[in-house]
Every structure is written in C-alpha cells, then in structure tokens.
Amino acid sequence: MKEVPASHAYRLLEPGPIVMVSTTAKGLSNVMTMGFHMMIQHEPPLIGCVIGPWDHSHQALRQTGECVIAVPGLDLAETVVDVGNCSGQQVDKFERFGLRLRPARDVSAPLLDDCLANIECRVVDTRLSDPYNLFILEATRVWINESRKERRTLHHRGGGCFTIDGGTLDLGERMVKWRHLP
C-alpha cells in the first residue's frame, strides 16, 4: 500500500455534497463554500459544521446564530469553487456571481434560488466552536427546488477536485431495523 499524508483522511471520508452557507449579519448577506459537515442526529435534525475564523461567515454565524445550508448542483460547480476562494469582507458575492436569493421563513440568512435544496438552520451548541470551529446546527426547515434540471451533486475530494454524483441504488427494502426513521 502507498502511504499518503494523514491530513488526506478527509479526502476519503468526506461524505456529503459540497454545500454553500449563507448568513446575514448587520443587514449584509454573504455566502461561503463548505465541505466539512456531517449529520449528527435525526430528530431534531442536527448538523455539525466546521466554519473557521478565517471565514468572514464565522463571525456572522457567531453573531446571529443563523444560516442557510444550500446544496448546489453540478451546473454551479465553478461558482461553488469561486465562492470559496474570495471573502464577503471584500466582495458582494451574490452580485459578483449572479446568485439569486429569496427570503427564508425562520432565519435572516437568504435561500439560494439556484440550488437544489436549502436548509434553514439555527446554532444550538457552540461548545466545540472554540477548539474545533465546530458549530452544531438544528435544521428548522428544508426546501427542495424541484424546478432544477441538473440534479447531480458535487462531492469534494480535496484540492478543488470533485466526484460527481452518479446513479441511485435503492436498497430500502433491506433497511428492516430503521423503518421508523424519516
């Protein structure tokens, strides 16, 4: 076997789709790209997110305790990378990248109209934010945009390289122990 740096562990395990996180603080909305996230619990739905202090979004999340996690499709791939390579401290990313917004129901952060799905979230635990920049979020509402034609998601493998979601394998009939879950 060939050994690679331990720092590459995330390239093997990072499971979910790359997402964009929107925030609104002091009347200004912003968006960043995020790969480090995980589901923690079904009910209430809890999501762990790593958002570092190098991100302008970090302060916005701390100040407001609210954000939206948006799941982009393959058609937004370049935008996803570019959004994660500039800061809301310097640019209005919605204007620069022509991202369309619509108001969320529960939180001040906007929904991203061009994404496949949007999850409205509230921060419910910051105890791990200092050591690990890990915020525990509760999803309060989920919106699916059924009008998007391109439905393939992007999965970050590191260094700006992505796996593109392919076919679906539905083994639901074998999930006998977990029928009660949503």
Ligand X SMILES: Cc1cc2nc3c(=O)[nH]c(=O)nc-3n(C[C@H](O)[C@H](O)[C@H](O)COP(=O)(O)O)c2cc1C
> Considering the rule CB under 6 A, would residue 86 count as an interface residue with ligand X?
yes
Kindly identify the residues of this chain, within the stretch 153-172, that bind ligand X according to CB under 6 A. Answer: 156
Please compute Rg for the chain using Cα positions: 17
Q: Toward ligand X, which CB reaches closer, 21 or 173? A: 21
Name every residue whose Cβ is closer than 8 Å to that of residue 95 and which is 6 or more positions away in sequence: none
| Cα distance from N-terminal residue to C-terminal residue, the chain | 40
Q: CB neighbours (10 Å) of residue 57?
A: 24
Nearest approach, Cβ of residue 109 and ligand X (Å): 12
Span near ligand X by CB under 6 A; candidates 30-38, 104-112, 143-151, 163-171: 30-38
Nearest approach, Cβ of residue 14 and ligand X (Å): 9
> Considering the rule CB under 6 A, would residue 112 count as an interface residue with ligand X?
no
What is the distance between the alpha carbons of residues 72 and 57, in angstroms, rounded to a whole number? 18
**CA-closest candidate to residue 77, choices 142, 156, 13:** 156
DSSP structure class, residue 117? E
Burial of 104 (0-12, 13-18, 19+ CB in 10 A): buried
Nearest approach, Cβ of residue 170 and ligand X (Å): 28
Span near ligand X by CB under 6 A; candidates 5-13, 33-41, 64-72, 165-173: 33-41
Q: Toward ligand X, which CB reaches closer, 80 or 117? A: 80
Q: Toward ligand X, which CB reaches closer, 30 or 153? A: 30
By the criterion CB under 6 A, which residues form the site for ligand X? Answer: 18, 30, 32-36, 50-52, 54-57, 81, 84-89, 156
